[in-house]
């Protein structure tokens, strides 16, 4: 049976949204947002802040295993930080060679390293040396920086360094998130390595999922923004009977309560609106709610609106001021 995995999405799928998406269901495992490694040995609290699932057996509240992703360019520091991470018993460790963000790439991180297969090998080999064989060890990469000419070289370098599985996002750094994803190139990479490859990129529907499988030759697919835009997508792919907006709505309420506990009121509304803006791709009800919330700035005013709409049944005492 195919595995369906939840992608790491910096600035989008934090632990709150991961918790909601995995509670709705359909995922075998996922990867958290990246932990940036520079020239210091990070304390345990850094990993636990970015991946609070580590405090719950490296699983979301609904039981989905969540792996921790490291991003950096220094093999020694990546290895030393992986050594510390191992003591926290993560469900797995992943290396980030896919982030296209300019702020990350300027500091030699993520997809900016895809022109240096030898460095990818050195990083992965150093981390492999401190990660036990019974801890899943993966890497996630794009197809290159400006073109795909070194995609196979990068993949083979990571395989030679000892990773267990490779995840490939079917775009270059320069592609950003512009469609289409280059699924045919994922197939070329898959044919050139001898470990499992997981395909990622531009899967928004069940039809996309099947087409991606066929084009890449990969049975296992990682869902990213498509999962955020349709939280029921993984279960649709599995052929399960699903509802619609009414099945997602409790998750919207849970997400908002989580935001209110975690985020300062000034920025709380933006987080909810960001998710609703993606949900409206598939759900007209999300468009209605988004338009209702769009002009509302204050968190307490959003509380009132969600209570009136029945999305929240009540507020915890700590949040009731002003309501």
Q: Which residues lie below 8 Å from residue 36, measured CB to CB, with a gap of 6+?
A: 71, 72, 104, 109
Whether 32 sits among the annotated catalytic residues: the reply is no
Q: Supply angle C-alpha 202, 4, 217, rounded to 5.
A: 65
Q: How many residues does the chain have?
A: 323
Looking at 6-135, list the stretches that DSSP marks H as alpha helix, in order from N- to C-terminal side. 15-24, 44-50, 75-86, 102-105, 117-128
- Which of 32, 99, 154, 212 is labelled catalytic? 99
User: 183 by DSSP, 3-state: which?
Assistant: helix
The residue with tokens 């991470």 is 85
Q: Which residues lie below 8 Å from residue 198, measured CB to CB, with a gap of 6+?
A: 3, 5, 165, 166, 167, 168, 218, 220, 221, 222
Q: Which residues lie below 8 Å from residue 282, measured CB to CB, with a gap of 6+?
A: 229, 230
Active site (catalytic) residues? 99
């Amino acid at each position: 049976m195919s595995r369906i995995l939840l992608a790491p999405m910096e600035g989008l799928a934090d632990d709150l949204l991961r918790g909601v998406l995995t509670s709705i269901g359909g995922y075998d495992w996922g990867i958290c947002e990246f932990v940036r490694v520079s020239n210091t040995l990070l304390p345990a609290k850094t990993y636990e802040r970015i991946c609070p699932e580590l405090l719950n057996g490296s699983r979301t509240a609904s039981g989905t295993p969540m792996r921790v992703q490291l991003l950096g360019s220094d093999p020694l520091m990546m290895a030393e930080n992986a050594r510390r991470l191992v003591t926290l018993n993560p469900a797995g460790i992943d290396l980030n060679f896919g982030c296209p963000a300019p702020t990350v790439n300027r500091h030699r991180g993520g997809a900016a390293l895809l022109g240096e297969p030898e460095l990818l090998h050195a990083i992965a080999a150093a981390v492999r040396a401190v990660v036990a064989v019974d801890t899943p060890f993966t890497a996630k990469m794009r197809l290159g920086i400006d073109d795909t000419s070194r995609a196979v070289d990068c993949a083979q370098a990571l395989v030679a360094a000892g990773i267990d599985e490779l995840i490939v996002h079917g775009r270059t750094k320069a592609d950003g998130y512009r469609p289409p994803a280059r699924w045919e190139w994922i197939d070329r990479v898959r044919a050139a390595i001898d470990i499992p490859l997981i395909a990622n990129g531009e899967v928004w529907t069940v039809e996309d999922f099947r087409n991606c499988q066929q084009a890449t030759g990969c049975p296992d697919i990682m869902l990213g923004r498509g999962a955020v835009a349709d939280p029921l997508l993984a279960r649709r792919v599995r052929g399960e009977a699903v509802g619609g907006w009414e099945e997602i709505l409790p998750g919207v309420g849970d997400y908002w309560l989580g935001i209110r506990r975690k985020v300062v009121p000034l920025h709380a509304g933006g987080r909810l609106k960001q998710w609703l803006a993606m949900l409206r791709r598939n759900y007209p009800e999300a468009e209605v709610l988004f338009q209702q919330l769009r002009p509302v700035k204050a968190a307490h005013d959003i509380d009132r609106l969600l209570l009136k709409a029945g999305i929240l049944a009540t507020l915890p005492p700590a949040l009731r001021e002003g309501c």
